[in-house]
Amino acid sequence: ISTMSVAYKDQLYAELKKQHNQKGTLFEDPEFPATNSSLYFHKPPPGVVQWKRPREICENPHLFVEGISSHDLNQGIVGNCWFVAACSCLALKPDLWEKVIPDWKEQEWDSNYAGIFHFRFWIFGQWTDVVIDDRLPTINGRLIYCQSKQNNEFWSALLEKAYAKLFGCYESLAGGNTGDAVVDFSGAVAEAIDLQKEKYYADQTKEDKFFEDLLKVWNRGGIISSSIKMSQPQGFGLESRTDNGLVRGHAYSVTDVKRVRLGHGLLAYFRNETIPLIRLRNPWGKTEWTGAWSDSSEEWSKVGDTERGNLGITVTDDGEFWMSFTDWCKNFTDADVCRIINTSLISIHKTWNKEVNFGKWTRNSDPLLNRCGGCTNHRQTFLQNPQYLFDVTKESDEVLISLQQKDRKIYRKEGQGDNLSIGFTIVKVEVNRKYRLHDLVTQQLLHTSTYIDARSVFMRCELPQGRYVVIPTTFKPFTEGEFMLRLYTDVDSGCRELVKDKPQPKCWTPLCGYPQVVTHIYVDRAEIGQQDQAEGINPYVIISCESQSVRSTTKKNSLTPVFEFSAIFYRKKVAEPITVQLWSDDLGSDTFLGQVMLSGRPEDASHPQQLQLKNKGSKKADNMPGKIALRLVTSNELTAF
């Protein structure tokens, strides 16, 4: 991920620090003043707040004391365990925190100290450099928000202040999503998983696959967190404990995912018996899981001393603990899985091709210009949303899609700030589609994501070769907002927004001509007659219209191929027929299996037809053995399909 950044509020760290060093003054940030407006918009902190610089809080302040660790942090009084959990995750990843805390050695307290610090966040697709002064809110001389265990370590408190500045004030950070903060620290792709709904623990095969997925994410630098829903809303900061020591309404950072070897000595290596375990940290820095595989549980007697030493088991209430993967799936209700997608050209791991598009849901009274049509429940307006076309050029490809809306926490001061309910639909379209979709009848809706009022929605799916359109939407029509659509494929997908509704005339002379009608043709399947066996019959379809031809994929060894193949043509010469030919791919010397010729006029039948294949020549040419099933619809209205 590129670390090229833009300066938030046009405040340039190096210039501001130089100015204050020359003047011998300490920086006071006019964009985030040491006043109540930077603290809260509704609920004031419980006490008299004094803003103090670190040197007024302790004698020897540092950004880091003995390095950076997931054990450094404790939650303050604001209900932002989600942010603290994200910081714990960040501390485990040097390649990430060094981007978020740039020039960290230079930022340490020294003779150049000017009361100014800066941090970087990946905000809506762009690294953003946020400058702050180091005046921190305290009550009775103690920090009231995020803080380190060491009272002279300040990286977490300063990082939190920079994040609060982005969203208007500290109270805007009350209640949030760990995955969102992780994305802001990394540019990762977040997937929210409903563990309660999926019930992995009830299906061993499903659970095993889920563990392997998470292990792969973890080993490739990903970040995972989890939480337990409240049984009933109790407001921010009002967590309740379960009988086994877990805390509801509370975000835990995952600090390791491992298959742990059972047994002692050499015998353990020969048996190679393992159990999937997961390690978590409570942002309070205390209160741990008390069930199986907790710090002092008898299960650890099944593990050899060397293996236990490698895992760093400590029998102290430091907030970090192991549990079995099954227990994690059972006891937690939600997980945020943040993948660092590898797009590097030089890598030993799988790399992805990435396409990013930014868009807006905007309202317009003209249906052709409206771009906020709501989800598929609203069939009349659904296709009025932004549309993005992409190709799968391999026989099959795994596609990752992330839809992220612009963060709305900044609007909490105005009594708004709730996320929009968003999602997207993937539609398989004609292989030669170039213009916006206007009708669903001729299209194949393949996948629809969940719709949720989360900041981002993620989907993984396997798609066969073909052309697709992804349509990001709000749940309800006429809801305005901004979004970022990221699409990852194995090879270049050519993802781009469809903007035009129909072909534009290149010139106005009669010689150029202009499409008179639009024809949609769908070839469903074929039956190839007379042959005794399918071996060596590799059929494919070519559809020709005027000067255009499109070809389907080849079906191997089949006398009854299913093509489900469609094309669209904007036709200038309505009298010229459309030809559908069936061929067999025979390693360079292809065999003609028959064709049909169709007039494709607007008044022709538009229902599915099964037609006899004929030899080349006119419509009255000799019959060939076999039939083809298709549907052809023509309209005088160029925005019909």
Which residues are annotated as catalytic?
81, 250, 282
How wide is the angle at C-alpha 209 spanned by C-alphas 82 and 93, nearest 5°? 40
Cα–Cα dist 378/381, whole Å: 6
Amino acid identity for residue 36 in this structure: N
Q: Any idea how long the chain is?
A: 641
What three-state secondary structure class fits 517? Answer: strand
Cα–Cα dist 477/584, whole Å: 47
What are 121's two structure tokens? 């966040």
What three-state secondary structure class fits 45? Answer: coil
Phi-psi region of 473 (alpha: psi -120 to 50; beta: other; left: phi over 0): beta
Distances (CA, A) of 614 to 162, 546, 549, 551, 607: 73, 20, 19, 19, 21
Distances (CA, A) of 581 to 408, 412, 526, 551: 54, 61, 11, 10
* Residue 332: closest CA among 257, 247, 232, 216: 247
Cα–Cα dist 389/311, whole Å: 47
Neighbouring CB atoms inside 10 A of 412's CB total 20
What three-state secondary structure class fits 100? Answer: helix
Distances (CA, A) of 444 to 240, 468, 473, 579: 47, 10, 18, 23
C-alpha atoms less than 13 angstroms from C-alpha of 482 in its C-beta half-sphere: 7
Sheet containing strand 50-52, strands side by side: 50-52, 136-139, 142-143
- By the 8 A CB rule, do 177 and 191 touch? no
* Residue 422: closest CA among 440, 436, 401, 444: 401
How wide is the angle at C-alpha 457 spanned by C-alphas 456 and 462, nearest 5°? 145
What are 421's two structure tokens? 């309910």
Neighbouring CB atoms inside 10 A of 152's CB total 15
Residues linked to residue 128 through DSSP beta bridges, in sequence order: 6, 121
Residue corresponding to tokens 């009550």: 139
What three-state secondary structure class fits 347? Answer: coil
C-alpha atoms less than 13 angstroms from C-alpha of 163 in its C-beta half-sphere: 30
- By the 8 A CB rule, do 606 and 631 touch? yes
What three-state secondary structure class fits 366? Answer: coil
Cα–Cα dist 45/445, whole Å: 51
What three-state secondary structure class fits 480? Answer: coil
